[in-house]
Amino acid sequence: MSTRLPDHGRLIDRSRQVKFTFNGKWMRGHPGDTLASALLANGQMLVGRSFKYHRPRGIVASGGEEPNALVNLGRGARHEPNQRATTTELFDRLEARSQNHWPTLEFDVGAVNAMVARFLPAGFYYKTFIHPRAFWKHVFEPIIRKSAGLGAAPDPETMDADRYEHFYAHVDLVVAGGGVAGLLAALEAGRAGKRVLLVEQNAHWGGRAPVDGDLIDGAPAEIWVKNTVEELEKMENVTLRTRTMLAGVYDHGYVTAYERVADHTPGEDAPRHRLWRIRTAQVISATGAIERPLSFPGNDKPGVMLASAVRDYIVNYGVAPGDTLVVVTNNDDGYRTALAAHRAGLKVACVVDPRAEADGDLPHEVRSLGIRVMAGSAISKVKGLKKVVSVRVQAHRGYDGGHDEIPCDAVAMSGGWSPVVHLWSHCGGKLTWDEDQACFRPDHDRPPTDQNGAGFVTCVGAADGALHGDVTMAATATAMADMLGNDVSAPRVDLAREAPLAPIWIMPEAAGAKKRAKMWLDFQNDVKVSDVMLAAQEGYESVEHTKRYTTLGMATDQGKLSNINGLAVLAEALDKGIPQVGTTTFRPPYTPISMGAIAGEARGEVFQPLRRTPIHDWHEAQGAYMEPVGGWRRPYCFPRDGESHEDAVNREIDATRRSLGLLDASTLGKILVKGPDAGRFMDMLYTNMMSNLKPGKCRYGLMCSENGFLMDDGVVVRLDEDTFLAHTTSGGADHVHAHMEDWLQCEWWDWKVHTVNVTEQWAQIAVVGPNTRKVLEKLGADFDLSAEALPFMAMAEGKIGGFDTRVFRISFSGELSYEIAVPASQGRAFWAALHEAGAEWNATAYGTEALHVMRAEKGFIMIGDETDGTIIPQDLGLTWAISKKKEDFLGKRGQERVHMTDPDRWKLVGLETLDGSVLPDGCYCIASGKNANGQANVQGRITSTYYSPTLSRGIAMGLVQNGPDRMGEVVAFNKVDGSTVNARIVSPVFYDPDGEKQNV
Amino acid sequence: MSELASALPGAKYEGVVRVVETGLRGMITLKADLPQSAKAVKAVTGQVVPKARRIDAGDMSVAWMAPDELLILCDHGRADHVVRDLAEQLGTTHHLAVNVSDARAMFTLTGAGVKDVLGKLTPADLAALPPGEMRRTRLAQVAAAIWFSDAQTAHVICFRSVAQYVFDLLALAARPGGDVGYH
């Protein structure tokens, strides 16, 4: 059983205790522990069940590569599934629960899957669940969803209690990894005056060197690490960050790093995670290497761990994974674990080494301690269910029937090391196969390239394939010297001489099908050697296809332990070389990062910018029902106590048509266009003539894209000879301004025109209804507001009630209407003044729905209702607004195309249901016959439909084939319930067709 | 008529830095050929046309916004006069001068951590932004112009409609516990 050792543990503080729970059971650890080391210290070897077969699983690794020890962490608003125990720092009252078992971790019904494992091979789902079709949704999927899975999804009713943020940094150099190579790289870059950011994913500096006992400049690595960090901390041009993982490398030197600011101090008032968004000239990847498991039967049982992890737990945390250890290794480095275990007082039963000879310095040292070294042998079986009881050892090659049964409760395995080449690969750096070390390493001739075509990622240390400390330091020094153009001297590293490893991908060599079905490659996704071989047999030659067929490397660990082993097995099965098979694609992030970190600050109130008019607060205070319009929130209606939205809209319309309505129209786009060529420019932008508009006058205009489609509309005002004010739709202001600048800057760059978007400078209020002039006269104007002095479609400037105003006699409602703009700083006060003065005429604020209904009663089109990007003005009967005199305007040529001039285009008409009901929005006008798909043919559709309180009936506008020629005809529209409703084609102007009311 | 209101009158937040809505400020956008307008700008503002990206502070401050655009900052009540004076000085020279004071909101940030706070919201390289240089950038999802008048004082201009959003962003970024300690 795993246990806490009386000594060792360089990272823990034994003077203090930390209490935590696992599956509700209280346990104790020390500050400095990870959840994984603390679980092992409490004898908890079994930590979860596997994804597919529900096999008992224990901790395998000691870092971010861990595939098994995933837990549900925390509860309620802080519950998060799939958290790796190996990278979770222990804190007081931590709550962890194991995943993917039912009913309990110890007794799991799903484990029956394991007994039928031979019926669940790779591709099982594809082969089995295709037919019958309906079964998938109702039978297979619910069962599979229940049995396969990871952690519990967070409760949808809770909100993440923490906050997150981004941080932007611009540096010369980012160094990823704070092991000895990364520290040396940062030190040299720092000394050379570069702006350096050094990030380390763990809470400690130094990486593996202090654990593995390397001597640097004659002293333990820890001393060199401490001195180097101290020197770096003193440099103002160097920023050091622990608990920060370089997550991704992207084009143009864009790099993201994931800082876990407060994961280890939950509840503290701090951002939990911070996503660093970095621009850097160079990336130094000092990300080290990951040890590979060995594929032998039963290699997934709790108690079988990576040899390096066993060393980490002993040296860093003072935790022994068992009392009696067997080491199985195809390389000399694995012997370091036997030595570390021996030094910690554990029994090392033997070292199993498939190489015919083991005579490097380390095997010699192990032998000299009296530990049995079994060269040329392999593990052929691991006995025990939820823990290891013994291993069976036989000849790796040429099985003669003989074997040893060796009792033990922990197995340390080492299949060699794979450099972490992820950051090299994210932007397309290529790899080369290193035969001697049996690993992929960066191909220096094919680096990821920046915008100048030069490499911008440099791997140093183990990440570059320099797997031994002496080579690491020397090669890092050379790489930095090349980069910085300096002389760099490498620290001297003393270590044992190592013999070459043997590239052994399965053991024993001649294992049969039954044994291969017990050799795990991907622990998290339950992919075995037999699955990959089956894929090869079934014709999956590409590693990318095999990955998807078997799910190898597709789990949350993204195959950090399994990829190389898997593709080596595939290569063997295909009888190809490993480099010919190649790797799957390394994609960011390196390990999973939180959704919160990606979202950053964008949640709650600041999820999205919400644009507010100067009168917004008043609307909210009135309890207005708001709707989004082009980034703004506008009042849809102002319901009073107990009033439905429909009732409110009807009341607002009634009040406006009978007496006085007030609309906050501040969101309307307002763009100034000025210059000697402004008239010419406006003539090009609008379909109608603008250059002949007289100063002080307004004209409604249509704006089309160059393809002829209607894009925006609004009233253009000529302020003076050189200056136009173009009103746009609320949602269109920014786009129209960009459209103008596009044409000015790219096509008509020699025209003397300037534009400025002044939308927000003005609060604009539409004062509407028969009593409009009375309320304005009551407020008192210093200019003549009469119909004679200021007729319909004219504008004037002056003071009203002491406010600085611009008044436009324009009407979107059909009533007498003055749209009045005041500087935004006066908007709120002017709104209040209008309400106060208008009280005697029942001044009523109205919202966008009343606006919509009133414009529909008048047959005015609305961009986005009557138009959808495929509509030209001619479709809407707006030919009167298309100049025939102008030589050109944007959209003119487009509107002459054959399809645009087709007489069968659907055209705008009004529609009245025979029964007075309101037509459903978006419904279709039915034609006779069916189309090729058996659907009813259609001859038109509804674009706007409302209940008109003015006419006490439903009214609608729609596009109908040859509609304007079919006045009075009755056509049918479909309804959601399958029935139809009859409507008569009428003029779209339902109210005051002669425009007498707006013109008084 | 008396009640002039800025976007968020009196809004302030004390955290890692102090965030204050600065109140109404006069702002004039001048679009013109800048060398041709230098004399008029000098006559009206007392300032020479700033170099690219500079904001020159004074009785009236003048900021370079684009190769053909300046922003003039003055007292709120003077903005219309400045527009008129520019029109008079520029005469028939092709230009567009317009009062945009009310289209904007302004914030001032003070404290040692101003760059760390703004660095959470803008992708601009703040280490390369000396006092007196204005950067047109974004704060999270909206456009903004930022500049430092000294190492501990930052100024932000944004559109008036998003003043609440920008204030909320700045306050969140300045919340205690979120010190970055980078700049």
- Tokens read off for A705: 């894209």
CA-closest candidate to residue B183, choices A438, A382, A170, A998: A170
Residue A122 has pLDDT above 80, yes or no: no
What SS3 state is found at B159? strand
Q: Under 8 Å CB-to-CB from A478, ≥6 apart: which residues?
A: A488, A490
Q: Which CATH architecture has domain B26-102?
A: 2-Layer Sandwich (3.30)
What SS3 state is found at A446? coil
Residue A665 has pLDDT above 80, yes or no: yes
pLDDT digits (tens, 9 = 90+) for B127-174: 999 999 999 999 999 999 999 999 999 999 999 999 999 999 999 999
Residues in chain B: 183
pLDDT digits (tens, 9 = 90+) for A304-325: 999 999 999 999 999 999 999 9
- Residue spans in chain B of domains classed CATH 3.30.1360.120: 12-23+103-173
Q: Under 8 Å CB-to-CB from A855, ≥6 apart: which residues?
A: A812, A813, A814, A862
Cα separation, A717 vs A544, whole angstroms:
62
Backbone angles phi, psi at B123, to 5 degrees: -80, 0
pLDDT of residue A559: 92
The distance between the two most distant Cα atoms of chain B, rounded to a whole number of Å, is 57
pLDDT of residue A145: 66
- The total of other beta-carbon atoms located within 10 Å of residue A661's CB is 30
User: pLDDT band at residue A1000, thresholds of 50, 70 and 90?
Assistant: confident
Q: Under 8 Å CB-to-CB from A336, ≥6 apart: which residues?
A: A212, A213, A307, A311, A362
Cα separation, A942 vs A277, whole angstroms:
48
How far separated are the first and last CA of chain A, in Å rounded? Answer: 96
Supply the Cα-derived Rg of chain A in whole angstroms. Answer: 38
- Tokens read off for A952: 């006490």
pLDDT digits (tens, 9 = 90+) for A8-36: 999 999 999 999 999 999 999 999 999 99
The one-letter amino acid code at A542 reads S
- Torsion sign across C-alpha atoms A525, A526, A529, A535: negative
| Average pLDDT for A638-653 | 97
Are the CB atoms for B122 and B144 separated by under 8 Å?
Answer: yes
pLDDT digits (tens, 9 = 90+) for A479-514: 999 999 988 889 999 988 999 999 999 999 999 999
Residue A682: HSE in the Cβ half-sphere, 13 Å Cα cutoff: 33
pLDDT of residue A535: 94
Are the CB atoms for A990 and A809 separated by under 8 Å?
Answer: no
Cα separation, A46 vs A69, whole angstroms:
9
pLDDT digits (tens, 9 = 90+) for A917-947: 999 999 999 999 999 999 999 999 999 999 9
Residue A142 has pLDDT above 80, yes or no: no
Residue A115 has pLDDT above 70, yes or no: no
User: pLDDT band at residue A541, thresholds of 50, 70 and 90?
Assistant: confident
| Average pLDDT for B83-91 | 97
Of B31, B98, B103, the CB nearest to A824: B103
pLDDT of residue A550: 92
Q: Which residues of B touch A828 (CB under 8 A)?
A: 3, 5
* DSSP per position, A129-182: SSSSHHHIIIIIHHHHHHHS--SPPPPTT-----EEEEEEEEEEEEEE--BHHH
Domains and CATH numbers, chain A: 3-113 (3.10.20.440), 163-289+418-494 (3.50.50.60), 293-415 (3.50.50.60), 504-576 (1.10.10.1100), 669-759 (3.30.70.1400), 900-986 (2.40.30.110)
Structure-token match 């102090």, residue found: B18
Backbone angles phi, psi at A461, to 5 degrees: 70, -150
| Average pLDDT for A718-731 | 97
pLDDT digits (tens, 9 = 90+) for A206-256: 999 999 988 999 999 999 999 999 999 999 999 999 999 999 999 999 999
Q: Which residues of B touch A752 (CB under 8 A)?
A: 94
| Average pLDDT for A556-563 | 93
- Tokens read off for A467: 């797997």
Phi-psi region at A180: left, alpha or beta (left = phi > 0; alpha = psi -120 to 50): alpha
Q: Under 8 Å CB-to-CB from A902, ≥6 apart: which residues?
A: none
| Average pLDDT for B73-82 | 97
Residue A106 has pLDDT above 80, yes or no: no
pLDDT of residue A107: 74
Q: Angle CA(A966)–CA(A967)–CA(A972) in degrees, nearest 5? A: 70
What SS3 state is found at A9? coil
- Which of the residues B28, B70, B75, B102 would you substitute to probe the A interface, choosing the one with the greatest number of A C-beta atoms within 10 Å? B102
| Average pLDDT for A59-74 | 95
B57/chain A closest Cα distance in angstroms: 24
pLDDT digits (tens, 9 = 90+) for A695-724: 999 999 999 999 999 999 999 999 999 999
Q: Which residues of A touch B126 (CB under 8 A)?
A: 168
CA-closest candidate to residue A333, choices A314, A357, A306: A306
Q: Give the number of A-B residue pairs with CB atoms closer than 8 Å.
A: 145
pLDDT digits (tens, 9 = 90+) for A71-87: 999 998 899 999 999 99
Cα separation, A620 vs A614, whole angstroms:
12
Of B7, B161, B168, the CB nearest to A605: B168
Q: Which residues of A touch B99 (CB under 8 A)?
A: 761, 823
Of B68, B98, B159, the CB nearest to A672: B98
Q: To the nearest 5 percent, what fractions of chain A are helix, strand and coil?
A: 25, 30, 45
Q: What is the ipTM of this complex?
A: 0.97
* A680 CB within 8 Å of a chain B CB: no
Cα separation, B76 vs B26, whole angstroms:
4
Q: Tell me the pairing of strands A795-800 and A304-306.
A: unpaired
B7/chain A closest Cα distance in angstroms: 7
Are the CB atoms for A624 and A616 separated by under 8 Å?
Answer: no
Backbone angles phi, psi at A64, to 5 degrees: -65, -10
B65-77 core/surface letters (b: 16 or more CB in 10 A; e: else): beeebbbbbbebe
The one-letter amino acid code at A633 reads R
Cα separation, A135 vs A139, whole angstroms:
5
| Average pLDDT for A947-956 | 96
pLDDT of residue A155: 83
pLDDT digits (tens, 9 = 90+) for A85-97: 999 999 999 999 9
Cα separation, A120 vs A822, whole angstroms:
74
Which contacts (CB < 8 Å, 24+ apart) does range A990-995 have? A990/A856, A990/A857, A990/A858, A990/A859, A990/A910, A990/A948, A990/A951, A990/A955, A991/A814, A991/A857, A991/A858, A991/A948, A991/A950, A991/A951, A992/A814, A992/A858, A995/A814
Mean pLDDT rounded to a whole number for chain A: 94
Residue A791 has pLDDT above 90, yes or no: yes
Are the CB atoms for A322 and A410 separated by under 8 Å?
Answer: yes
* B31 CB within 8 Å of a chain A CB: yes
pLDDT digits (tens, 9 = 90+) for A847-902: 999 999 999 999 999 999 999 999 999 999 999 999 999 999 999 999 999 999 99
Q: Tell me the pairing of strands A457-459 and A271-285.
A: parallel
Backbone angles phi, psi at A505, to 5 degrees: -105, -25
- Torsion sign across C-alpha atoms A78, A79, A83, A86: positive
Q: Which residues of A touch B119 (CB under 8 A)?
A: 167-169
What SS3 state is found at A913? strand
Q: Which residues of B touch A601 (CB under 8 A)?
A: 120-121, 140, 169, 172-173
Query: Is the peptide bond preceding residue A103 cis, with omega within 30 degrees of 0?
Result: yes
Q: To the nearest 5 percent, what fractions of chain B are helix, strand and coil?
A: 30, 35, 35
Task: Judge residue B178's burial from the number of C-beta atoms within 10 Å of its C-beta, 0-12 exposed, 13-18 middle, 19 or more buried.
Answer: buried
User: pLDDT band at residue A999, thresholds of 50, 70 and 90?
Assistant: confident
| Average pLDDT for B9-27 | 97
The CATH class of B12-23+103-173 is alpha beta
Residue A294 has pLDDT above 80, yes or no: yes
Structure-token match 């209008």, residue found: A834
Residues 147-176 of B with CB under 8 A from A: 159-165, 168-169, 172-173, 175-176
pTM of the model: 0.94
* DSSP per position, A714-781: EEEEEEETTEEEEEE-TTTHHHHHHHHHHHHHHT-TTS--EEEE-GGGEEEEEEESTTHHHHHHHH-B
* A602 CB within 8 Å of a chain B CB: yes
CA-closest candidate to residue B169, choices A162, A609, A614, A258: A609
pLDDT of residue A148: 59
- Residue spans in chain B of domains classed CATH 3.30.70.1520: 26-102
